[in-house]
């Protein structure tokens, strides 16, 4: 078959992700799509995948993606006539200690929040379901009956046939050699059999995705690792419908296959695949190939597996599979449009979840490619979560090895990665260490999470209950409420937009009115076409033609790319990332003005420097951008200082603030403070799935102004309607309960939603959670206030109180009853 000279969309890679994407592009969008596979379909890592299909993740959207996969696999054979090997066997997850059991109780609560029925079983019930299992060490197990298993190659071939049935053209033995590009866009895909002109490219090249991306200047930060499992001969007494098993405390998994078992695991000492080729590239001819058996490395799994299923000791082994799987630095897969190239989309790095994710990933990736924006909140897998840091191959490899080693470890709340640190430090790093800072890491930046008192352990000690930082963070929290604290927020992402048309561009991009006079700043959302919240940030107008934009550390690439991609064509605008040019010191608390007035000649009185304004002032001989804004609910300023002067200005503030009791404060206190004040956090409380009306941010959109902006049309259609969900605040009095998010909200005993974030409010002395209350007939004030509420926390119901207003008000009554 001769390659066509043009296509609307070219999909690169004929594994399960590529075939699923081509299938959905053809079936759902009738797109003119061509798929190119350098070898044969499934010949990369799909053919040797173990084929377990689980559905539950901590993100509601990713769980929805996985649930979609299951529904697709159930009906695919009927559509294409090709079997998929799908079996809904259910999955048992085993727990051998109380921390794991607490994790499962939380997972079961999350499952119910997402509409899934995960049950908790006793060891005796597990034994009855799986008679060959040794259960003497079990505390219990979770049971999700709708999980299952499938044949990776069969599913892929079925998807490929479905794609062809709907008009897609699939070509094998075609190697992509490069791209013809202009102004950051791909015009043609170059292959060893000719060029294909196209509008968009979807890079689903699996372990080659990094190399394919690099041809277009795109970074796809993944690392192939060696993953091993065995397939045994038939085992007497093993039922054909035996549930799949995940035994994370022993780091192993099992599934039935042709009367025997597939058994593999995730070891703490994984092996990266270093090929020896320039740049560590994966050879192009690595098709239907495996590594040599490595029984010495696999022995750790064998020992644990025999202890769990003694019959394995005498079972024959038909085959060991030792093949490469693509893993990522954070254990989440990679989807979305690359920040470096506006018409290349990526679906790769599936961390051994490729079969479970394949159907749903292809569905959302196809929609994303067609619409230019994600169809739902996919932030946790968005390629724009990465940054320039992730171009460091060694750093990516080290962090990916750590993530693989944690695949089956207990997911303790607030746990930090340790590899590749410290990587990026602010000029205050050594000063804050001297104050006994305990650092966390965000997008490579070292940031103080909390400060350990003298004599206390200056490190995180993880647990499923209250952790060792709880009381020290409470002291930091109280200090900001009563005196003054200083936060090092130098890791904030910062951009400048300049040009004669800068105001016009931002007026289109931002939902709030940012076209204010110079010297004003605006908190605003950036909306998608559905009026979902794609970002929230602060825009300060420094001059008629110059704006300063500040957003969260982790959103640096995402928010920059979103802003850049939505600048209307033809405008005189330049957008620059200036993150490393400025340090950020946030001075917060009722004594903040006293401290600031002592280090500057500028008038910082409320009359001269009101809230929502920006001024350039001088501190310690350096010009500083001072933003009167707060995320803690107290008087305060963000001081954006020349990066080289950060230490000098910090010292001046600390010296002037000594008489007022100033002290450095960390990010965990910041989180507690913002919860009391009711400030939203993007990525949890507000996401692309949520509109400003639903989030209680209707005041922050400029619908009264006759100005068009991204998302206005969708927002206007919702105006005047009662939202079907609304963000609300809940408190729980029981001090032993720990709220983290995903706890189920009950109204009059019926599930109506789940928490999006949770923590503890030290001023109000209660646990605080935020979450959306849902009702198909609308969520009015009357509906909210008429209900009696409970939260389900680790499968236990506890009374909760709903609040319609922030719990903490520094201007009026300090704490709401």
**CA 450 remoteness from chain centre:** 23
Cβ–Cβ under 8 Å, residues 30 and 167: yes
Question: Do residues 207 and 274 lie in contact, with contact meaning Cβ atoms separated by under 8 Å?
Answer: no
Distance, in Å, from the CA atom of 429 to the CA atom of 583, rounded to the nearest integer, reads: 12
Residue-level length of the chain: 817
Asked if 6 and 152 touch (Cβ cutoff 8 Å), the reply is: no
Which residues make beta-bridge pairs with 309?
none
Give yes or no on whether 6-84+150-222+330-385 and 493-581 have one common fold.
no
Give the CA distances from residue 389 to residues 393, 394, 401, 444, 489, in Å, rounded to whole numbers and listed in that order.
Answer: 9, 11, 16, 7, 19
d(CA 51, CA 362): 17
Residue that is written with structure tokens 């999980």 in the block: 147
Paired residues of 642 in beta bridges: 582
Q: Are 744 and 700 in contact (CB under 8 A)?
A: no
What residues contact 506, with CB distance under 8 A and at least 6 apart?
497, 514, 515, 539, 547
Distance, in Å, from the CA atom of 153 to the CA atom of 205, rounded to the nearest integer, reads 16
User: For residue 693, what are its two tokens?
Assistant: 């009306």
* Residue 93, helix vs strand vs coil: strand
Backbone dihedral angles phi then psi of residue 366, each to the nearest 5 degrees: -60, -45
Around Cβ 143, how many Cβ atoms within 10 Å? 21
CA distance 581 to 495: 10
β-pairing, 260-265 vs 223-232, is: antiparallel
CA distances from 695 to 107, 427, 496, 622 (A): 25, 37, 28, 39
Tokens found for residue 91: 């999955």
E-only strand ranges, 37-107: 52-53, 91-95
Q: Enumerate helices (H) and strands (E) in the chain, giving the number of each.
A: 18, 38
Measured distance CA(569)–CA(263) in Å, rounded: 55
Low-confidence residues of the chain: pLDDT under 70: 1, 276-278, 811-817
By CB atoms closer than 10 A (0-12, 13-18, 19+), residue 596 is buried
Say whether 207 sits in a helix, a strand or coil.
helix
- The label of the residue with tokens 């993100």 reads 59
What does pLDDT average to over the chain?
95
Distance, CA of 601 to chain centre: 44
How far is residue 129's CA from residue 318's CA, in Å, rounded to a whole number? 26
Q: How far apart are CA 8 and CA 6, in angstroms?
A: 7
Q: Does domain 493-581 fall into CATH 3.30.70.1400?
A: yes
Cβ count within 10 A of residue 313: 10
Distance CA 246, CA 750 (A): 31
Residue 506's H or E segment, with its range, is helix 502-509
* Nearest of 631, 627, 612 to residue 522 by alpha carbon: 612
Q: What is the helix (H) or strand (E) element at residue 16, kind and residue range? A: helix 16-29
Token pair for residue 497? 């937009």
* Domain 91-148+224-327 CATH class label: alpha beta
Query: Which residue is it, tokens 């319609």?
Result: 804
Quote the CA–CA distance of 252 and 622 in Å, as a whole number. 58
* Block residue for tokens 């104050």: 435
User: Which letter does DSSP use for residue 166 in this model?
Assistant: T
Residues contacting residue 4 through CB under 8 Å, at least 6 positions apart: 34, 169, 196
Q: What is the pLDDT of residues 795-805, one digit of tens each?
A: 999 999 999 99
Where are the domains positioned within the chain? 6-84+150-222+330-385, 91-148+224-327, 493-581
Distance (Å, whole) CA 707 – CA 585: 35
SS3 295: helix
What pLDDT is stored for residue 56 in this prediction? 82
Mention every residue, 6+ apart, whose C-beta is less than 8 A from residue 163: 19, 22, 23, 25, 26, 27, 33, 35, 170
**Taking the CA atoms of the chain, what radius of gyration do you get in angstroms?**
27
Please, what's the b/e burial string for 92-126 (b: 16 or more CB within 10 A of its CB; e: otherwise)?
Answer: bbbbbeebbbbbbbbbbbbbbbbebebebbebebb
- Closest C-alpha among 711, 700, 715, 707 to residue 522: 700
Tokens of 486: 């200083």
DSSP 195-231: EEEEEEEEE--GGGHHHHHHTTT-----EEEEEEEEE
What sign does the CA torsion over 567, 572, 577, 579 have? negative
Q: How far apart are CA 231 and CA 261, in angstroms?
A: 6
**Quick one: pLDDT at residue 813?**
43
Q: Is 271 helix (H, G, I), strand (E, B) or coil?
A: strand
Q: Are 433 and 441 in contact (CB under 8 A)?
A: no
Strands (E), 266-389: 271-272, 317-327, 334-337, 344-348
Asked if 769 and 791 count as a contact pair (C-beta separation under 8 A), the reply is: yes
Residue 592: Cβ within 10 Å count: 26
How many CB atoms within 10 Å of residue 463? Answer: 14
Give the residue among 738, 740, 773, 742 at the shortest CA–CA distance from 755: 742
Residues 674, 680, 684, 688, Cα dihedral to 10°: -160
Predicted local distance difference test score (pLDDT) of residue 814? 56
pLDDT value for 811:
65
| Phi, psi dihedral angles at 463 (to 5 degrees) | -160, 170
d(CA 485, CA 522): 24
Sign of CA dihedral 380, 393, 287, 331: negative
Amino acid 50: pLDDT: 74
Q: Cβ distance 536 to 525 under 8 Å?
A: yes
Cis peptide before 422 (omega within 30 of 0): yes
Q: What span, in angstroms and rounded, lies between the C-alpha atoms of 590 and 483?
A: 6
So what's the architecture of 6-84+150-222+330-385 in CATH? 3-Layer(bba) Sandwich (3.50)
Query: H or E element: which one contains 443?
Result: none
């Amino acid at each position: 078959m001769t390659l066509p000279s043009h296509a609307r969309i070219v999909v690169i890679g004929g594994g399960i992700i590529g075939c699923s994407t081509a299938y959905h592009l053809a079936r759902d969008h009738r797109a003119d799509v061509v798929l190119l596979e350098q070898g044969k379909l499934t010949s990369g890592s799909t053919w040797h995948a173990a084929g377990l299909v689980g559905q539950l993740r901590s993100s509601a959207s990713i769980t929805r993606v996985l649930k979609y996969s299951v529904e697709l696999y159930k009906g695919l054979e009927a559509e294409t006539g090709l079997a998929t090997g799908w079996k809904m066997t259910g999955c048992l997850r085993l727990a051998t200690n109380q921390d794991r059991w607490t994790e499962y109780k939380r997972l079961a609560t999350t499952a119910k929040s997402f509409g899934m029925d995960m049950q908790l079983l006793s060891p005796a019930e597990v034994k009855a379901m799986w008679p060959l299992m040794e259960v003497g060490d079990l505390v219990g197990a979770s049971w999700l009956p709708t999980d299952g298993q499938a044949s990776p190659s069969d599913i892929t071939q079925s998807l490929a046939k479905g794609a062809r049935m709907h008009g897609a053209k699939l070509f094998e033995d075609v190697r992509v050699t490069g791209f013809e590009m202009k102004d950051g866009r791909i015009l043609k895909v170059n292959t060893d059999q000719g060029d294909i002109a196209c509008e968009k490219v979807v890079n689903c090249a699996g372990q080659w995705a990094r190399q394919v991306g690099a041809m277009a200047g795109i970074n796809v930060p993944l690392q192939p690792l060696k993953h091993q499992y065995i397939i045994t001969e038939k085992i007497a007494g093993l039922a054909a419908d035996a549930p799949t098993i995940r035994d994370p405390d022993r780091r192993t998994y099992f599934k039935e296959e042709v009367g025997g078992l597939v058994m593999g695991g995730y070891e703490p000492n994984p092996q990266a695949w270093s090929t020896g080729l320039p740049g560590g590239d994966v050879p192009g001819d690595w098709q239907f190939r495996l590594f040599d058996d490595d029984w010495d490395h696999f022995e750790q799994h064998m020992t644990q597996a025999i202890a769990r299923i003694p019959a394995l000791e005498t079972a024959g082994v038909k085959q060991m599979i030792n093949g490469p799987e693509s893993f990522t630095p954070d254990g989440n897969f990679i989807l979305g449009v690359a920040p470096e190239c506006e018409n290349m989309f990526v679906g790769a790095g599936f961390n051994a979840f490729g079969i479970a994710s394949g159907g749903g990933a292809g569905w959302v990736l196809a929609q994303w490619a067609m619409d230019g924006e994600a169809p739902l909140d996919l932030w946790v897998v968005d390629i724009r979560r990465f940054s320039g840091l992730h171009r460091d191959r060694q750093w990516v490899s080290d962090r990916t090895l750590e993530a693989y080693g944690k695949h089956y470890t207990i997911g303790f709340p607030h746990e930090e990665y340790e590899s590749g640190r410290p990587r990026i430090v602010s000029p205050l790093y050594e000063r804050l260490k001297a104050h006994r800072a305990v650092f966390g890491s965000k997008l490579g930046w070292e940031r103080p999470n909390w400060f350990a008192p003298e004599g206390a352990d200056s490190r995180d000690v993880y647990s499923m209950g209250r952790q060792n930082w709880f009381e020290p963070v409470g002291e930091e929290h109280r200090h900001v409420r009563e005196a003054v604290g200083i936060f090092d927020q130098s890791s904030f992402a910062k951009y400048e937009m300049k040009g004669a048309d800068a105001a016009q561009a931002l007026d289109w991009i931002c939902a709030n009115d940012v076209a204010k006079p110079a010297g004003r700043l605006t908190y605003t959302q950036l909306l998608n076409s559905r009026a979902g919240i794609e970002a929230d940030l602060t825009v300060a107008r420094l001059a008629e033609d110059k704006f300063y934009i500040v957003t969260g550390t982790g959103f640096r690439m995402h928010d920059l790319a979103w802003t850049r991609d939505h600048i209307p064509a033809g405008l005189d605008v330049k957008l620059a990332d200036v993150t490393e040019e400025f340090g950020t010191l946030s001075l917060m608390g009722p004594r903040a003005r006293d401290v600031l007035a002592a280090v500057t000649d500028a008038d910082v009185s409320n009359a001269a420097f009101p809230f929502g304004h920006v001024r350039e002032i001088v501190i310690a001989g350096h010009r500083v951008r001072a933003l009167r804004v707060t995320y803690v609910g107290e008087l305060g300023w963000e001081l954006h200082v020349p990066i080289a002067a950060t230490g000098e200005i910090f010292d001046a503030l600390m010296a002037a603030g000594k008489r007022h009791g100033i002290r450095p404060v960390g990010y965990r206190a910041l989180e507690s403070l913002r919860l009391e004040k009711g400030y939203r956090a993007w990525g949890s409380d507000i996401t692309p799935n949520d509109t400003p009306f639903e989030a209680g941010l209707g005041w922050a959109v400029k619908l009264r102004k006759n100005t068009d902006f991204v998302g206005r049309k969708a927002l206007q259609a919702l105006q005047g309607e009662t939202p079907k969900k609304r963000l609300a605040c809940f408190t729980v009095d029981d001090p032993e309960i720990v709220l983290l998010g995903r706890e189920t909200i009950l109204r009059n005993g019926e599930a109506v939603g789940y928490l999006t974030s949770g923590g503890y409010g030290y001023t109000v002395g209660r646990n605080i959670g935020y979450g959306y209350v849902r009702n198909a007939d609308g969520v009015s004030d009357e509906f909210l206030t008429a209900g009696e509420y409970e939260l389900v926390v680790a499968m236990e119901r506890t009374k909760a109180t709903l609040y319609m207003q922030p719990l903490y008000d520094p201007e009026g009554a300090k704490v709401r009853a």
